Structure 1
Amino acid sequence: MTALKTGQVQRTYVIADRGDRPAARGWFHLVAAALSAISSAVLITFGWMTLPWPQALGVTIYGAGVVLLFAVSAMYHRWPWRSVEAVQWWRRADHATISVFIAATYTPLCLIVFEPRTAAIMLAVAWAGGIGGAVLNLVWINHPRWLDVVVYVGLGWIIVPLLPTLWSSAGPAVVWLLFAGGVVYTLGALVYGFKWPGRSARYYGYHEHFHTATVVAAVCHLVAIWMVVVAH
């Protein structure tokens, strides 16, 4: 024991960790946050140089959503938070940004590809779902895990009725990239929901599978949005 001199105060710090986790937890999203900040900055700049301002604003919302998703996740999973309250609030933010990010991904696609009325309806539905999902996680973070899966997957596939329009206006390559990203996101959500293959892994567990899926799917959608922006 170290003796304290008069006037000194001994402080004890306790890390409010979330228990044993695989060593890779959070690293994929930390790298993705840095890379998405760069790619989004380039995309947003290009958008404002070439598109009308409403469409450029949509690109900006998307870019901000990508960075927010990965940055918040990286902060939650990697930072050694010193209180249980901080951990819980960052957990809420981490889950809330997912549905907001999905709505943000729809935004430039709708504003650039669809006619105004269709875009307005689609964005109203997407953002109602995105905000609703965020509120759900902010006020009831301990809800059943399957509810998140239903919200994320359902919100991610609401564009299906408009695929013919998207195919004719944006092209097959964009649709296939969006479809591939959607499939990967869905598989990741199912892995998250069923906790497969468990959280007892030493290096790479079910949450890492989920995070890897989000990164791969985000890249697919980023390329698709780049193609839409450049073509218009």
Structure 2
Amino acid sequence: MNQTSLIYQYSHTEEFINGFTHLLGIILGFYISFALLSKAITSGQYGHIFSYLIYGASFIALFASSTFYHFTREPKLKMILKKVDHICIYIFIAATYTPIILIKFHSPWNPWLLILVWVLALAGSIYKLSAKNRNVFVSVGTYLAMGYVCMLAINPMLEVLDKTSFYLLLIGGISFSIGVVFYLLKKVPFSHSIWHLFVLAGTIFHYLSINSIVN
């Protein structure tokens, strides 16, 4: 099978909206990175700076790879960008955990949970690079599993997070989960654009949670 045939063919209008919705994410990523890093640099907290650099860079990379993928028309380049886009999802999920765990968690779970999510991100990235016919349900399943692996440390998490931070995290996770339904409904017009909007919403809620934790 030709690898380029594995790319679902959206209409030109759909692809424009797909790309535009995540172009907004790039702009949002720069704003969020600046906002978080400014606070961390002012306070001189190097651990915060490190975690925000990882989070901010992965945020921008996630939306940039998606935007370029949807705006690109050349089939071979589009196939490469699709892999990069999906790998960036794994990295971004792990990067979202990073500031929360490093800044707020102070328990025996701290290093192990952080190691676990980054190992899963690495494993998922290798899978995306090596598997020729990637199963969409395997990909989606691993994304969701990474997102909800925090449930392994639900008790320590409830002890250290205030209600606002916790509920913002939860709403963000629910937003991603609902969006997955539209991601799988590829034949429904503009379903992928709707998925993108849920991704944007989820990332905003998670940023607000991280910002609440810091404050």
* Shared fold (TM-score, shorter chain, > 0.5): yes
Query: Aligned-pair distance for 1:51?
Result: 5.6
- The AA in structure 2 aligned to 1:211 is H
Aligned residue pairs: how many?
206
Partner SS for 1:45: helix
d(CA) in 1 for partners of 2:59, 2:29: 7
Say if 2:197 is the partner of 1:217.
Answer: no
1:84-120 Cα distance to aligned partner (Å, 9 max, x none): 3211110100111001100000000000111163221
Which of the two has higher C-alpha Rg?
A: 1
| Unmatched segments (≥5 aa) in structure 1 | 1-16
- For residue 100 of structure 1, the aligned residue among 91, 113, 121 is 91
Say if 2:22 is the partner of 1:29.
Answer: yes
- The AA in structure 2 aligned to 1:117 is P
Q: Where do 4+ consecutive residues of structure 1 move more than 3 Å?
A: 17-20
d(CA) in 1 for partners of 2:42, 2:160: 22
Query: Aligned-pair distance for 1:229?
Result: 1.6
Query: Aligned-pair distance for 1:137?
Result: 1.4
1:136-194 Cα distance to aligned partner (Å, 9 max, x none): 1122263111011110000000111323322332201101000000011111123223x
Do the aligned partners of residues 141 and 97 (structure 1) sit closer, same or farther apart at CA in structure 2, a change above 3 Å counting? farther
Equivalent residues of 1:163, 1:175 under 8 A apart: no
d(CA) in 2 for partners of 1:47, 1:225: 13
- Give the structure 1 partner of residue 42 of structure 2: 49
Partner SS for 2:17: coil
Partner SS for 1:158: helix
1:189-225 Cα distance to aligned partner (Å, 9 max, x none): 23223x26x24x2xxx121121111000000000000
- Give the structure 2 partner of residue 40 of structure 1: 33
d(CA) in 2 for partners of 1:36, 1:29: 10
Query: Aligned-pair distance for 1:131?
Result: 1.3
d(CA) in 1 for partners of 2:161, 2:85: 32
The correspondence of residues 167-182 of structure 1 with structure 2, limited to 5 A, is 167-182=158-173
d(CA) in 2 for partners of 1:58, 1:116: 18
d(CA) in 1 for partners of 2:138, 2:35: 35
Equivalent residues of 1:69, 1:98 under 8 A apart: yes
Partner SS for 2:134: coil
| Deviating more after overlay: 143-152 vs 166-175 | 166-175
Identify the structure with bigger relative contact order (alpha carbons < 8 Å, sequence gap 6+): 1
Query: Aligned-pair distance for 1:52?
Result: 2.8
Say if 2:66 is the partner of 1:73.
Answer: yes
- For residue 183 of structure 1, the aligned residue among 164, 168, 174 is 174
d(CA) in 2 for partners of 1:67, 1:60: 11
Q: Matched residues, percent identical? A: 24
TM-score (norm: length of structure 1): 0.82
d(CA) in 2 for partners of 1:183, 1:67: 22
Equivalent residues of 1:92, 1:141 under 8 A apart: no
When you count helix as a share of all residues, which structure comes out higher? 2
| Unmatched segments (≥5 aa) in structure 2 | 1-6
- Give the structure 2 partner of residue 145 of structure 1: 136
Q: What do you get for the CA RMSD once the two structures are aligned?
A: 1.8
